[in-house]
């Protein structure tokens, strides 16, 4: 275990998630590029190389990998950048607001 400041790590994770949620990537039509660019910048700030693939101008996928030492099996983290549409009038809060309230995003 390292000497990380877990309170700071938690606060940073909440802030990053809040900012990511604020990017409207609702599909259709799909605007994953904005989300992929956010993640690309985030990874770059941590010196993690990534490659963006753009099959269409506003559609994008992002691939990043870290080399391990080979002592443990590999791990794959995968998620959809696009989300289903969210009608604001059906939510108690703005769905793409990323509001942090009562300790929750």
Instruction: Tell me what pLDDT residue 2 has.
Output: 64
Sequence spans of domains, the chain: 6-90
Tens of pLDDT, residues 12-34: 999 999 999 999 999 887 789 99
∠ CA 95-97-100, nearest 5°, is: 110
- Report the C-alpha gap between 70 and 9 in whole angstroms: 26
Can you tell me whether residue 39 is helix, strand or coil? helix
Measure Cα distances from 90 to 77, 94, 100 in Å.
31, 9, 19
**Residue whose tokens read 């605007």:** 31
The tens digit of pLDDT for each residue in 30-87 reads 789 999 999 999 999 999 999 999 998 889 999 999 998 999 999 898 999 999 988 8
The owner of tokens 């509001």 is 99
């Amino acid at each position: 275990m390292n000497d990380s400041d877990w309170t700071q790590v938690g606060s940073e994770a909440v802030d990053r998630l809040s900012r990511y949620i604020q990017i409207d990537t609702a599909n259709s039509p799909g605007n994953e590029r904005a989300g992929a660019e956010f993640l690309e910048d985030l990874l770059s700030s941590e010196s993690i190389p990534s490659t963006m693939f753009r099959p269409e101008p506003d559609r994008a996928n992002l691939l990043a990998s870290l080399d391990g030492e080979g002592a443990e099996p590999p791990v794959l983290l995968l998620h959809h950048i696009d989300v289903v549409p969210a009608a604001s009038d059906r939510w108690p809060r703005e769905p793409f607001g990323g509001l942090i309230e009562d300790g929750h995003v």
